[in-house]
């Protein structure tokens, strides 16, 4: 579909193939267990041995190993080997791919030389805020947050109102999700 705010529900063969591959990887099966989701949350913060995960979650090592195997089959967890020691870490890219399935696709037409801002004005639900002489994406479908944009898979170093398009492009808008990486407690002397 083309036009103002037209969402495309056409599914091309590449999306179907990708969807089938992800379904074969059992991503949704892996995420259907609270225990496996809890494991992923721990692994998002740091690497663990299977026994360390078991201890942190207060379960037996064989039960933890069974859940880890499901996560590995879904490619949500990677295993690194150091001799006989196996260390697990989360496969963040695969998690992000799984979330991308739920994004909406739009197609709009603008004149050559138009800015990214001009194109986004044609898409319903994109909130823009002007700060000084720059424009920023501040919400998508009324969900506020911090957003970045990519053009053909690359992050430009200019605001959306300054990027001029000379040919057709694919714009991806990504919400920055706060993921706890470090927690620092500061005590005063």
CA distance 101 to 57: 30
Q: Looking at the domain assignment, is residue 169 inside a domain? A: yes
**Collapsed DSSP state (helix, strand, coil) of residue 64:** helix
Of 99, 125, 151, the residue at which a domain comes to its end is: 99
Q: Looking at the domain assignment, is residue 6 inside a domain? A: no
Average pLDDT, integer, range 74-103:
85
| In a shared domain, residues 87 and 123 | no
Q: Looking at the domain assignment, is residue 118 inside a domain? A: yes
Identify the CATH number of the domain in which residue 121 sits.
2.170.130.30
| In a shared domain, residues 143 and 66 | no
- Structural domain of 50: 13-99
Average pLDDT, integer, range 7-18:
55
Q: Looking at the domain assignment, is residue 8 inside a domain? A: no
Least confident among 35-44, 102-111, 161-170? 102-111
| In a shared domain, residues 143 and 168 | yes
Q: Looking at the domain assignment, is residue 78 inside a domain? A: yes
| In a shared domain, residues 17 and 78 | yes
What's the pLDDT at 100?
A: 72
State yes or no: pLDDT of 96 exceeds 80.
no
Compute CA distances 90 → 133, 171, 178, 182, 188, whole Å: 40, 27, 17, 17, 35
| In a shared domain, residues 17 and 56 | yes
| Contact (Cβ atoms closer than 8 angstroms) between residue 71 and residue 24 | no
CA distance 1 to 9: 8
Q: Looking at the domain assignment, is residue 119 inside a domain? A: yes
Q: How many domains does the chain have?
A: 2
Of 54, 77, 99, the residue at which a domain comes to its end is: 99
Q: Looking at the domain assignment, is residue 2 inside a domain? A: no
Identify the CATH number of the domain in which residue 58 sits.
1.10.10.10
68, burial (CB in 10 Å: exposed 0-12, middle 13-18, buried 19+): buried
Q: What is the pLDDT of residues 125-170, one digit of tens each?
A: 899 999 998 888 999 888 898 889 999 999 999 999 999 999 999 9
State yes or no: pLDDT of 10 exceeds 90.
no
| In a shared domain, residues 41 and 74 | yes
| In a shared domain, residues 118 and 92 | no
Q: Looking at the domain assignment, is residue 185 inside a domain? A: no
Q: DSSP character for 90?
A: E
What's the pLDDT at 2?
A: 41
């Amino acid at each position: 579909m083309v036009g103002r705010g037209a969402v495309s529900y056409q599914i091309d063969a590449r999306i179907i193939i990708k969807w089938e591959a992800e379904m074969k990887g059992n991503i949704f099966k892996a995420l259907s267990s609270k225990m496996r989701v809890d494991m992923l949350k721990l692994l998002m913060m740091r690497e663990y041995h299977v026994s360390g995960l078991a201890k942190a979650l207060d379960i037996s090592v064989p039960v933890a190993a069974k859940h880890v195997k499901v996560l590995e089959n879904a490619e949500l967890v990677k295993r690194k080997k150091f001799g006989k020691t196996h260390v697990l870490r989360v496969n963040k890219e695969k998690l992000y791919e799984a979330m991308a399935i739920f994004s909406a696709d739009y197609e709009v037409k603008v004149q050559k030389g138009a800015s990214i801002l001009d194109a986004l004005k044609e898409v319903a639900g994109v909130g823009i805020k002007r700060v000084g002489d720059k424009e920023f994406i501040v919400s998508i479908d009324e969900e506020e947050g911090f957003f970045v944009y990519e053009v053909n898979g690359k992050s430009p170093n200019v605001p959306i109102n300054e990027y001029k398009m000379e040919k057709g492009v694919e714009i991806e808008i990504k919400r920055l999700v706060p993921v706890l990486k470090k927690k620092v407690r500061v005590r005063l002397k």
